[in-house]
Homo-oligomer: A and B are copies of this chain.
Amino acid sequence: MSQLRVTVWNEGIHESTKDPAGMPEYYPNGIHGAIATGIGEHLPDATVRTALLSYPEHGLTETVLEATDVLLWWGHKAHAQVDDEVVEQVRRHVLGGMGLLVLHSGHFSKIFTRLLGTTCSLSWRNAAEREVLWTVDPTHPIADGIPNPVVIPEQETYGEFFDIPTPDELVFISSFTGGEVFRSGATFRRGRGRIFYFSPGDERYPVYNQPEIQRILANGIRWVAQPGLPRTIPTVSNPSRDWFRTQD
């Protein structure tokens, strides 16, 4: 298997503002650093780079996107600061075949709401509750090797109604101590690209250090990646002629 090229994007606001104050204890290299470390342990064939909002073009230049098989997106406080042109360029790469993993509060990111078309709103509250994550599609590759259930000792509570289009595949459903349920792992195909949304992971709890969660991210990366697929990016001027040309 050839190298899998992964880019982990983080807005980096919790890191730069040192809020929450305790985060460096469990995420000494930031949220993106923790995610990247977990991927490295579970995907030895992956090369992982990270990118931040503060980088030029948020670190998502055309050169980077062309060299990215799978992009992970973590954002929370700064969705509005993400440049619309970068979002559009990312969207075009996803439609052209790049895999996308959207994490936790990334449900409100411009790239996710732009690709899905809905508000992607949900209910939330934070009470350090236990999340229990259940597999409802046990032979899906993303669930491979994942115990059923996975218990996350403390996590922000997300709840339905989650305003998304009906997923192509529903892989995980979570419950929380307060009784909420949430469709916590779902896949979507858009254009030539694959998308996996996965809700666990918050700046206040060391969820990305948990091996089962790392394994799910690794499985998700493997599933959205299509390394043999030529990237075919739609053009603005003539989307229908240039678009699925490789199929014609």
Binding site for B on A (CB under 8 A): 91, 95, 97, 108, 114-119, 121-124, 130, 132, 134-139, 148-149, 151, 159-163, 165-166, 168-170, 173-176, 179-181, 183, 188-192, 194, 226, 229, 234, 239-240, 243-244, 247-248
| Chain B residues within 8 Å of A159, by CB | 134
Q: Pick the contact of A114 from B117, B138, B161, B176 — CB < 8 Å?
A: B117
Some 21 contacts from A to B, beta carbons below 8 A apart, are A108-B239, A116-B117, A117-B117, A119-B191, A119-B239, A119-B243, A123-B248, A124-B240, A132-B180, A134-B160, A135-B160, A135-B161, A136-B160, A136-B183, A138-B161, A138-B244, A139-B226, A139-B229, A174-B181, A175-B176, A175-B181
With A139-B226, A161-B136, A181-B134 known to touch, is A190 a contact of B247 (CB < 8 Å)?
Answer: no
| Chain B residues within 8 Å of A243, by CB | 119, 121, 163
Number of copies: 4
> What's the minimum C-beta distance from A226 to chain B, rounded to whole angstroms?
6
Q: In the complex, which of the residues A132, A162, A165, A169 has the most CB atoms of chain B within 10 Å of its own CB atom?
A: A165
Q: A139–B97 contact, CB under 8 A?
A: yes
Q: In the complex, which of the residues A118, A148, A176, A243 has the most CB atoms of chain B within 10 Å of its own CB atom?
A: A118
With A124-B240, A244-B161, A248-B148 known to touch, is A118 a contact of B134 (CB < 8 Å)?
Answer: no
| Chain B residues within 8 Å of A192, by CB | 138-139
A179's closest neighbor in chain B, by CB? B132
Complex Cα gap A166–B229 (Å) = 20
Q: A247–B138 contact, CB under 8 A?
A: yes
Q: A165–B181 contact, CB under 8 A?
A: no
> What's the minimum C-beta distance from A134 to chain B, rounded to whole angstroms?
5
| Chain B residues within 8 Å of A229, by CB | 139
> What's the minimum C-beta distance from A123 to chain B, rounded to whole angstroms?
7
Q: A122–B240 contact, CB under 8 A?
A: yes
Complex Cα gap A218–B183 (Å) = 26
> What's the minimum C-beta distance from A33 to chain B, rounded to whole angstroms?
29
A193's closest neighbor in chain B, by CB? B139
